[in-house]
Structure 1
């Protein structure tokens, strides 16, 4: 299952994901968030991986809890991870490994703003690659780096609580450098067997003509960390002045250009009900959970635009690496059908879309849980192929009709619900 360049075989690969947000730092009014604890994946991982395989997925986007695997500087605890990757191999389920899904270990002072962050995250990534070189070859060095940059930089919502444009630029350059060092280190370990899937949030912006300049800035900003990591942050970049005015020195940008890494696959995460934000006349919103902008559901049109843009910008195969809607089973089924049909149309037109990922396999808990005192059930998001139900034995994974529906799509069959063609 590992080592071959699956994205070159001409097929559309169907994948699932397990939500793996980790922000282990707590504080007054803030609970550490670990989605594997919330969904009890640490306990049920063996069955969870089986469910993914039985649902028809050949691949699973799955993240490593850095804060648990690397509990102290230079110290690694592989016990749980060994069992997980052994289970992947047993099931012949291909892991596409998120090395970083938002949080650093608690021992890393100032988190992403720590000057040693790029070296520390690369050290961790290389250690993982060395230990699992025989079984894991597909890596996402950092999931959704632009969301990292916004939430930990501009919005001061997550550690290290930077704010404004300078915070965004600090986060963007730090993440990009860590991204580069991690990918380069893993490539040294795995050589040509390594596959790198770069993944970011498919954010779209529209709105009133009075805010056209702001909208255009945000549309370029969507790609900023990926542009920096891939060496595109030169003087000709549309945001070059913005970077320089907010702390990115010539030396930093030149280092990023020299250290450029490239994706084998560019992944786009797209949620039709949330991915298109609106900037309206006279309204000011900071973005994020604390001050969200209004949104518009642009359906498959938004998905198509983002995938075409990613393919054109980076000249690599593209993948839909996360998608779903939060809603009823019928609403989710409709989006599953419509989004798969969109991918099929793009492929028929020659766009090199190589994977489709429904996210997540089972329900998850909204990030607002971190800033709440309410029980996890109050934050459950109905997104998965499986629902989560509280029982005396823990969270039970309950299949919905979406399981068979996804399986049939993965097999090339186009199912329908009654009344939905």
Structure 2
């Protein structure tokens, strides 16, 4: 339970997270640049071509991370940038990533590299995406090239980010490219993504044998609860939603065991396919129908997501007790344009981690989402998740008070009552006025 007295995080590595499409900028022919060109696809009409201009400003950003005491950094590589045409590799782009990785290591920041973070080449999408007959072969070719060229600088890999968020966005609700709306198709893509991870897991270990190689998935987990526990429809739908959204795909990717409605792809056998459990945690879902729900009268962020810090402990404990893998919190953060409650959010969630670690749950990493305000997919430039504020017009970076709190916690290995008084005291959350649905 969070208190103003402080907490210890001894041995927990603290860092930040980003994704290439959301920060790099540039005219890259990806599934998302094409999607953003379609009127009405992005809430504010913005494009990922601007983003944070990180592709050119990576030195500035790396130095800023180091100044904040960042110990670990989760980043992704842009598949469309590295393989602009099928089987054609951009040597200059690989060299640029190597420069960035070198500087991170020089600054004492350990990189964790994600291979697929919602985005892939437009040619891959137009060929049928993950449902194309040769999709897994194309994916393995990409993984092999990246690991061969960058593996001497990277020991830790996330194969796929939030397969459940990607599938529901791209194939069930139609918010992400290619914009399809089919639950049946979504379940098929789940199976392909599970196979993609399992094959990549084996491939990375084959290419980089050694005890320091770590491979996993960044899973988006939420607690689910019925909107009205006395309503039989709410009670019945809650476990179904949880199974379809997270439990089935997590089990398939981690163990190679497929529960209906997922089907095991050919060539996949049960086993252990993870060296850590990547946990992305933001909120919980209150179930009244088949979508994301927030009840009235609860604390929320700028996007209307419920703030529920205890859920980070609940999901971390479930991951550990179910799969017995060390837990890395690969994303956690909140949307707060005014930085009016982010320090409180950070304090409460890190306090929860302190508690569950004391109870024996091996949470080894915490990556805050995100480092700097960035392009938030179909929401565009509006949402502000960064410890560092960004002026999109000038590209000026400004460390927020929440970023200063993060830096002090990172340097001290914990939080003190004095930090609470300076950064957290007096911060309050907005409260939802009516039940909300996010789709």
TM-score normalised according to structure 1 size: 0.83
| Unmatched tracts of structure 2, length 5 or more | 1-9, 23-31, 299-305, 427-439
In structure 2, the CA distance between the partners of 1:407 and 1:28, relative to structure 1 (3 Å rule), is: closer
SS at match of 2:208: helix
Give the corresponding residue for 2:250: 226
Quick check: 1:105 aligned with 2:121? yes
Could you tell me how far apart the structure 2 residues matched to 1:107 and 1:303 are? Answer: 38
Quick check: 1:403 aligned with 2:369? no
SS at match of 2:142: helix
Q: Give the superposition deviation at 1:253.
A: 4.3
Could you tell me how far apart the structure 1 residues matched to 2:75 and 2:218 are? Answer: 13
8 Å CA contact retained: 2:33, 2:48: no
8 Å CA contact retained: 1:268, 1:322: yes
Q: Give the superposition deviation at 1:205.
A: 2.0
SS at match of 2:117: coil
SS at match of 1:364: coil
SS at match of 2:160: coil
Could you tell me how far apart the structure 1 residues matched to 2:267 and 2:294 are? Answer: 38
Quick check: 1:128 aligned with 2:151? no
Give the corresponding residue for 2:220: 201
SS at match of 2:425: coil
Count, aligned residues? 378
Q: Give the superposition deviation at 1:35.
A: 4.9
Q: Give the superposition deviation at 1:36.
A: 7.3
Which residue of the other structure, out of 308, 314, 333, is the alignment partner of 1:305? 314
SS at match of 1:85: helix
Q: Give the superposition deviation at 1:169.
A: 0.9
Aligned-pair RMSD on alpha carbons? 2.4
Q: Give the superposition deviation at 1:34.
A: 7.0
Which residue of the other structure, out of 363, 370, 374, is the alignment partner of 1:360? 370
Quick check: 1:154 aligned with 2:172? yes
Could you tell me how far apart the structure 1 residues matched to 2:366 and 2:388 are? Answer: 18
Report Cα offsets for 1:159-192 as digits up to 9, x if no partner: 3334332111111011111111212111111112
Quick check: 1:256 aligned with 2:275? no
| Unmatched tracts of structure 1, length 5 or more | 1-9, 370-375
Give the corresponding residue for 1:11: 11
Quick check: 1:420 aligned with 2:439? no
The answer to which of 408-417 and 172-181 deviates more is 408-417
Give the corresponding residue for 1:72: 85
In structure 2, the CA distance between the partners of 1:114 and 1:401, relative to structure 1 (3 Å rule), is: same
Give the corresponding residue for 1:173: 191
8 Å CA contact retained: 2:224, 2:285: yes
Which residue of the other structure, out of 285, 298, 306, is the alignment partner of 1:277? 285
Give the corresponding residue for 2:52: 39
Give the corresponding residue for 1:216: 239
8 Å CA contact retained: 1:113, 1:160: no
8 Å CA contact retained: 1:323, 1:357: yes
In structure 2, the CA distance between the partners of 1:214 and 1:180, relative to structure 1 (3 Å rule), is: same
Q: Give the superposition deviation at 1:400.
A: 1.4
8 Å CA contact retained: 2:173, 2:180: yes
Q: Give the superposition deviation at 1:33.
A: 8.2
In structure 2, the CA distance between the partners of 1:223 and 1:24, relative to structure 1 (3 Å rule), is: farther
Give the corresponding residue for 2:5: none
Quick check: 1:389 aligned with 2:400? no
Q: Give the superposition deviation at 1:389.
A: 1.5
In structure 2, the CA distance between the partners of 1:91 and 1:34, relative to structure 1 (3 Å rule), is: farther
8 Å CA contact retained: 1:19, 1:35: no
